[in-house]
Amino acid sequence: MIAVMIAGSAAMFVSLVVTRYLIVFFRERGVGQPILGKEDNGPEHHMKKQGTPTMGGLAIVVSALFGWLIAHLRPGLALSDQALIMWVGILVMAAMGFLDDYIKVRKRHNRGIFWKKKSYITLGMSVLLAWWLVASTGVSETISFTRATFPGWQLATPIFVVFCGVIIWSTSNAVNVTDGLDGLAGGSAMFGFLAFTIIAYWEFRNPDVYGAVVNPLDLAVLAAAFAGGCAGFLWFNAAPARIIMGDVGALAIGTALALLAITTNTQLLIILICGLNVMEAGSVAIQMGVFKASGRKKRLFRMSPIHHHFELVGWPETTVTIRFWIISGICTASALAIFIADFTRLTDNL
């Protein structure tokens, strides 16, 4: 437990320092977030944010990596192959996001050169990452809700790899879609990482029930480090944001959440843990479906993702963010309640 606390607190402190530095560094160099205007069907009401320093997600990634590494100075916590593979995947996705952010800033337009192809590129990267994780570690190849044996549907390795790749791809893109209001993506992600910290540590303390999980303590440390990184970043990202996360943070955070779900055997539970992100991404899919089905004439929401719809209805941005945080908190708490209830039911029957 001490290693988990070290990771979280160290990451939070470093995140505070690095985020503050990035604000000054990017502001002096004019690295500001471009906003889509009316001509691009973008959130015109956010034009006041144009020029806000971006790529702040770098602070989350750097601080989480530092917190995770510093926790391993404590004896008894080994650097696991599983976590190292996860970090490679997170850093590769972060690099993809950084490249897209950099192109947006250089072009002064909120669509990078890969904006049409990025979805296919990230899907391919996600499947490759899932294959590496499955091929190199002892991760259970079953569809799982709260543990490897529930429901425990065994899949052929190629199918399971594609299944996990889709989880990584969809979660990273869902977090990216959620990152549209000050503090929204960072706050909801922090709830998710705290949930995975509890889940992974619970699995570490109960190996008789969760023996299929590989190195759960290292997973708990990784999750705690990301939770601390998000918390430190939120200090400056809360409305009115002094820095924006950018794709570099959103893709890294989404990848980390998805990988934690896969490695803790809670692939289906992530739908509830990341319930807000599912709602946000779902609103985009529904909007596109209605628009195309109507011959490009009708839209269900005033604007998607759905947080922009509520802004246009008349809710202030801070109201939307706080209410969506509440939704995220309820989803996360419900997921933890289900996880613990399943454990209680199982142990009562032993």
What are the pLDDT digits (tens) for 294-307? Answer: 888 788 888 889 98
pLDDT at 186: 95
Question: Exposed, middle or buried: residue 159 (CB in 10 Å: 0-12, 13-18, 19+)?
Answer: exposed
Residues of the chain with pLDDT under 70: 31-51, 108-116, 350
pLDDT at site 66: 97
Angstrom distance (rounded) from CA 113 to CA 29: 21
pLDDT of residue 42: 52
Paired strand residues for 151: 144
Enumerate the domain spans of the chain.
Answer: 2-271
Residue 27 token pair: 């502001």
Give the per-residue pLDDT at 347: 82
SS3 (DSSP) at 116: coil
Residue 227 · residue 191 · CB < 8 Å:
no
Q: What is the pLDDT of residue 50?
A: 66
Q: Taking the mean position of all CA atoms in its chain, how far away is CA 143?
A: 21
Q: What pairs with residue 154 in β-bridges?
A: 142
Cβ atoms 53, 27 nearer than 8 A: yes
Identify the pLDDT of residue 37.
47
For residue 147, what is the enclosing H or E element? strand 142-147
Q: What was the pLDDT predicted at 119? A: 83
How many CA atoms lie within 13 Å of 218's alpha carbon, on the beta-carbon side?
A: 22
DSSP character at residue 233: H
